[in-house]
Structure 1
Amino acid sequence: MIKYVIALLCCLPLCTIKGQNVLLKDTVTAHHKDTVYTFDHLYDIGDGFKDIGRFIRRDTSRKISKKRSGISILPNINYNPSIGFQIGAKVVGGIQLGPRENTTMSIFATAFNYTTRGILVGYLAHDIYTRENKWNLKGGIHVAKMVGLDYGLGIGNVLHDPNAEEQVLNNADRMRYVNEYTIYGLNERIYKQLLPGMFVGAGVFVELKRNIKTLGDHEMTPLEIYSNWNKYSAGNYNNNGLMFNLQYMTRDNPNSAYKGIYTDVVLRMGQSWMGSPRNTYQLQTDFRKYWSLSDTRPNHVLAFWHWGSYNIHGNLAYLDLPGTGKDVYARSGRGYTNGYFKGNSFFYSEVEYRFPILRNQFLSGVVFANVQTADDQMGTKLFRYWQPAGGTGLRLLFNKATRTNLCIDYAFGKFGQRGLFLGLNEAF
């Protein structure tokens, strides 16, 4: 059924171009090399539904569309190998709190979803920029019943002469474990602009994990072994602490950037006085760079992404270890399930080529490739082993006012890992 809906949506802009000329007044403006481009004939899914209504009513007169809302409401039918099939509802919105010339678009998202793997998630997230970007508030709350696939610790390399516990924890044979737990989380950061595009800030995070268990009958599991090694409870624990942040940002849009840079460096500190089992210190880095490759079609883009998390002091609990898909929006590592590789420190990089297919930007495409590396507690060092993945995908313009795309990707990695990844907005 999904493939027939996608096929119908892909045909909508083609039919409209031939059938009628609809004047669109709601425009999207992009700044490129000090020149302003105004796209008066962008076409998104909302326009498609309007045209279906006109066709049903047989109304062929010229019409002026009303100003479009910056809110996208989507029945959240989704799929990826980590969660299975998902049903739910998602709302993604954008609002401009100041002049476009010096104020970044503020965005928010909220959703309630259920998946065939038994995952139940509700969240509210925001990324708000006040007038002239003087302040930035970023964060959210979430409650979830999680069922996560687990393939052990490290990057999947074969250890020499491991003992019984190391063999299970390293899991070179890629045996699949399933962990189940409930999480209650809150995080909030506040940034102050120091210079144009540069912010400094601080924040707090609270994560309560309860009812943790590995499903099935196993003599030993990676979760139990790692927890025993590092003196964590394998059933319940808190991860609460403080964050200090440095951010630099010049990208032109947070949903689908055509140009610019986004950098966020976070010192994340678990604190025993706030309820964590022990003090831990982790440095997280997020760097994104975008190059528009055309003066006339700025959505012709080469994009680069690096995400990393580096252990400074103390060992995190097993479910908090950085790894595949452990970035804020769980979009890294397309080609593998979330948490497929993980370690005390983790490094990830991706490059993506984005290109328009239709001139009205309703349909575009991407190709991408990524690599990741991790350390472990059995002696493997960061940057020693690398695991690659890659894929290709289509983009349907869902809301032209906010550059929100419906993303359909197929990606593949090693160890037989592959799958379809659907979602709103670009992975980075």
Structure 2
Amino acid sequence: MANKYIPSLLNVEKEFIYMRSYLIVLFFFTTILQVAAQKIIIKDTITNKAKDTVHYFEHLYDIGDGFRDVSRFVRRDTSKRVRGKRSGISILPNINYNPSIGFQIGAKVVGGVYLGDRETTAMSTFATALSYTTRGIMVGYFSHDTYTKQNKWNLKGGLVIAKMVILDYGMGMGNTIPTDIPEEEVLNNPDRNRYTNQYTVYSFNERLYKRLSPGMYVGAGVFVELKRNIRTLGEYETTPLDVYSDLTGYNPRNYNNNGLMFSWQYMTRDNPNSAYKGTYTDVILRMSQPWMGSAKASYQLQTDFRKYWSLSSTRPNHVLAFWHWGSYNVSGQLAYLDLPGTGRDTYSRLGRGYTAGYFKGNSFFYSEVEYRYPILRNQFLSGVVFANIQTADDRLGTKLFQRWQPAAGTGLRVLFNKATRTNLCIDYAFGRFGQRGLFLGLNEAF
């Protein structure tokens, strides 16, 4: 059995110092803005559609308002405040922390714009960022989700170039099923030994959807994923990556995963960053194709379902939200680094409470429920509590839905941009096997 990968004490100490310093700054910053927020008189205004929605929006308070109020206080500016049209673009430091990536620093631009009338056109969103983490991860990406006038077409996709360092705990759900095959035991990893895989990835995907009826779309697209210089850090006789690659015939150092996608989507949610109501459903058949340069042929069905219920007409961010994400093997076998699992969704948000890839299999099922509630009436501060559960199959006979692993947590939200409902999210979550950690990021997990 391979030994656990243990980072040096120096790296752990540095990471702790980085995180502690960031939390002190964040606490000081949000405290100042909370004091400034008390100057705003709030009224319940969501009663009559358009007129009251505008009145309600004017009484929201975000970080931009805080900067202006603090600046006016420092300058002793007593002139009448003039409100201009709020920009839907946020430029900010790309600061993050979670157990999977360590402490992250970089720059990020996120934005939202309507390409048609707001009553008939969904918000189009985009994000681009460049970042570096204390685990040696370097990522540059651009992503977008674009809706044309009256939602007739939807184009979504992105480009990623990254040097990745990911923690690896093998396949399955941490089963203790005995086996007399040493390689399978290493791959299933019942002791949850930790390995660290490093690789470079070049990824591109794009999907085009056509509206069939209000909220319903069908589409198709392509994906190209090139993984290079794959290796496991440390000295081991054998690793889950090598065992799986030998069993499936994949090159453990370099391979391509390219193919076609066919999709069906149904979308009625009112905002992609922080929905108060509505539904989002996306079903995708991903087909890796050797004729497009893929190492092997495989077919994977992915499902993404999200439902939001607003629990108050006067405080609409009082929300109950549900999320399901699944990936089911139809035919063939994916490469080890492409297996679905914890944190393997588009934005690596599922499975708070565990590091990315902690559980994985040929097929994977995940569900989460989250309760979102306001703290301040101007929505500058709000909170969440959440719980999730996940299951995967493995090579030792455990079937999907046979073994489950739970996690739960709570978090704080700081309204970063009220024009796009962009929140700064601070969550603490815990799972089994001693897994727990702080998760920071922009926008809701789902």
1:141: which partner in 2?
159
Report if aligned partners of 1:9, 1:45 keep a CA contact under 8 Å in 2.
no
Gaps of 5+ in 2: 1-20
1:98: which partner in 2?
116
Report if aligned partners of 1:79, 1:422 keep a CA contact under 8 Å in 2.
yes
Amino acid at match of 1:37: T
CA deviation after TM superposition for structure 1 residue 296, in Å: 0.7
Of 161, 166, 169, 2:179 maps to 161
Report if aligned partners of 1:281, 1:314 keep a CA contact under 8 Å in 2.
yes
1:3 aligns with 2:23: yes
Distance across 2 between alignment mates of 1:161 and 1:208: 34
CA deviation after TM superposition for structure 1 residue 6, in Å: 2.6
2:431: which partner in 1?
413
Amino acid at match of 2:23: K
Distance across 2 between alignment mates of 1:344 and 1:42: 45
Structure 1 length normalisation: TM-score? 0.96
CA deviation after TM superposition for structure 1 residue 379, in Å: 1.2
Moved over 4 A (4+): 17-22, 29-36
1:26: which partner in 2?
none
CA deviation after TM superposition for structure 1 residue 60, in Å: 2.3
Distance across 1 between alignment mates of 2:50 and 2:257: 45
Distance across 2 between alignment mates of 1:369 and 1:257: 18
1:366 aligns with 2:391: no
1:16: which partner in 2?
36
Aligned length, in residue pairs: 422
Distance across 2 between alignment mates of 1:30 and 1:145: 47
2:53: which partner in 1?
37
2:310: which partner in 1?
292
Amino acid at match of 2:302: Q
Aligned residue for 1:340, secondary structure, equals coil
CA deviation after TM superposition for structure 1 residue 278, in Å: 1.7
Report if aligned partners of 1:200, 1:245 keep a CA contact under 8 Å in 2.
yes
Please give the residue correspondences for 1:199-348 in structure 2 after superposition, counting only pairs within 5 Å: 199-348=217-366
Distance across 1 between alignment mates of 2:386 and 2:34: 27
TM-aligned CA distance change 1:423 to 1:358, over 3 Å? same
Amino acid at match of 1:210: R
Deviations along 1:167-218, one digit per CA (max 9) or x if unpaired, are 1011111100000100000000000000000000000000000000111110
Report if aligned partners of 1:13, 1:43 keep a CA contact under 8 Å in 2.
no
Aligned residue for 2:229, secondary structure, equals strand
Report if aligned partners of 2:384, 2:410 keep a CA contact under 8 Å in 1.
yes
Of 398, 405, 417, 1:380 maps to 398
Of residues 65-74 and 85-94 in structure 1, the stretch that sits farther from structure 2 once superposed is 65-74
1:126: which partner in 2?
144
TM-aligned CA distance change 1:57 to 1:117, over 3 Å? same
Report if aligned partners of 1:149, 1:178 keep a CA contact under 8 Å in 2.
yes
Relative to its length, the structure with more helix (as a share) is 2
Report if aligned partners of 2:36, 2:70 keep a CA contact under 8 Å in 1.
no
CA deviation after TM superposition for structure 1 residue 4, in Å: 3.2
Amino acid at match of 1:6: L
1:173 aligns with 2:191: yes
Distance across 2 between alignment mates of 1:234 and 1:20: 59
Aligned residue for 2:387, secondary structure, equals strand
Distance across 2 between alignment mates of 1:65 and 1:33: 22
Of 401, 405, 413, 2:419 maps to 401
CA deviation after TM superposition for structure 1 residue 35, in Å: 10
Deviations along 1:24-43, one digit per CA (max 9) or x if unpaired, are xxxxx989999963312110
Report if aligned partners of 1:247, 1:263 keep a CA contact under 8 Å in 2.
yes
Of 56, 76, 96, 1:58 maps to 76
Identity of aligned residues (%): 72
Amino acid at match of 1:70: G
Distance across 2 between alignment mates of 1:128 and 1:155: 37
